[in-house]
Amino acid sequence: MTILPLAYLGSVEYFARLLRGDCVVDLGEHFVKRSVRNRTRILACDGAMELTVHVAHADRPRTPMRDVRIDYSKRWQHQHWGALVASYRASPYFEHYAPRFEPFYRTGYGFLVDYDCELLRLMCGLMGVPEPLFSERYVEAAPDDLDLRPRHAQGPDFSPEPYVQVFADRLPFVPNLSAADLLFAEGPAAAALLRRCLP
């Protein structure tokens, strides 16, 4: 079994693992700062760019993921949507999918878990990836489980396959960005590429 953290606009590897199956997303863990739980990487005109969902009281140790509230005191939604539009408006499928993503940057959510889960469900549906199992209780990893919950964990068998990214004319391929990068570039063909990333 593969144990995944909940992720904000999860990476290509994240969705490749979901597509492969036998995954559980752990909602019972503690929030880990500077991790995929509230951060993602997209491709901007000058290279990879990190987007961070602002959360309230994230400095408290051992805060359960279920209790992490989103902080709207800064205009991060406006910044994220502006970055997505600026980065991907020239990609082949952005205009097709943008109306499905835009509400996430116009509507407020109280808790990070609810926000991330809804985005995850949207992306699974758009890419033809089955929705994962969610565990409300902390998942204890067995010796043969692949635990990808640590801050920067990457599985040993993940092999990113290049695709034509939006700034391919001036930047080299950047692997394992948010799967939104793949979706806006490949559209319905995204799932086929995800399958080829894991043996």
Question: What residues are paired with 70 via a beta bridge?
Answer: 55
* Residue 153, SS3 per DSSP: coil
Are the C-beta atoms of residues 130 and 21 closer than 8 Å to each other? yes
pLDDT tens for the chain, 199 residues: list them. 999 999 999 999 999 999 999 999 999 999 998 899 999 999 999 999 999 999 997 667 788 999 999 999 999 999 999 999 999 999 999 999 999 999 999 999 999 999 999 999 999 999 999 999 999 999 999 999 999 988 667 788 899 999 999 999 999 999 999 999 999 999 999 999 999 999 8
Q: What residues does each domain of the chain span?
A: 2-196
Are the C-beta atoms of residues 64 and 31 closer than 8 Å to each other? yes
